[in-house]
Amino acid sequence: MNTRLKLDAISKRYGGDKNSITALQDISFTLTEGEFLAIQGPSGSGKSTLLNICGLIDNPSDGDYYLNGISVAQLSISERCTYRRRDIGFIFQRHQLIPAMTVYENIAYPLLLNGVQPKQIKHDVNQLLNTMGLEHRRKHLPKQLSGGERQRVGVARALIKRPQLVIADEPSASLDHQHAHAGLQLMRELNKQYGASFLIASHDAFVIDHCDRKIELLDGQLKASP
């Protein structure tokens, strides 16, 4: 199996030299193509920080990491932007839907950014709306949705472009069982068809059970995996 993601002694510190907070310390692990990896850890253990770095929206203080063998530290700002657009699907803890876009538009947006043909966009979005049980909500704005519905739109938006790497920050937090299941089903499909890899921070036993492997964070440090 090819390596999708390789972290090499990643550290993250916040604040100045004197009273700095160490959010991550010396984190190294690899994620292979098609792997489902769960990240466990109590609140404040550094899960979000780690995922943000892996998703190219934050930079480590030390260490490097490699996406498909390419050193991320070497990438320019606009190259990172391209990776985020093309290869990474991010499921945010707080959904982060665009308020002025409808459900349909929110989900279609990543495809639009990637220059997918309008016909294809329409087909793909409609299909995914169906899978996620959101077709009756397609024209609604985020503020008109329940928390669970918003989370599903967030999941759909991350998965629609079939990214190589899906990063999810506690995605099932507000999903009911049925939809969490549908989401996972979808992830599994992506995983089989395109070899997508998944990095999921979660407390949910249901989600963790579906993963191939799990790592545990505690106070920014990796606990030895069992």
Q: Given the rule CB under 6 A, which residues bind ligand ADP?
A: 14, 21, 23, 41, 43-49
33 vs 53: CA distance, rounded Å: 19
Contact positions with another protein (CB under 8 A) in 28-67 = 52, 55, 57-58
112 binds another protein (CB under 8 A): yes
95 vs 99: CA distance, rounded Å: 11
Helix, strand and coil content of the chain, in percent to the nearest 5, comes to 40, 25, 30
**Matching residue, tokens 């991550």:** 24
Contact positions with another protein (CB under 8 A) in 122-141 = 141
Q: Whats the size of the chain, residue-wise?
A: 226
126 vs 138: CA distance, rounded Å: 9
94 binds another protein (CB under 8 A): yes
Question: Smallest distance from the beta carbon of 104 to another protein, in angstroms?
Answer: 9
Taking CA atoms, 1 is separated from 24, 102, 108, 187, in Å, by 27, 39, 31, 19
Q: What is the radius of gyration, based on Cα positions, of the chain?
A: 17
By rule CB under 8 A, what string of x and - marks binding of each residue 146-175 to another protein?
Answer: -----------x------------------
Interface residue with another protein among 3, 61, 68, 82 (CB under 8 A) is 82
- Would you say 95 or 161 has its CB closer to Mg ion? 95
Residue 14 binding result from another protein, Mg ion, ligand ADP, none, given CB thresholds of 5 to 8 Å by partner type: ligand ADP
Residue 136 DSSP SS3: helix
Residue 83 binding result from another protein, ligand ADP, Mg ion, none, given CB thresholds of 5 to 8 Å by partner type: another protein
Residues at the site binding another protein, with contacts judged by CB under 8 A: 52, 55, 57-58, 78, 81-86, 88, 90, 92, 94, 96-101, 105, 108-110, 112-113, 141, 157
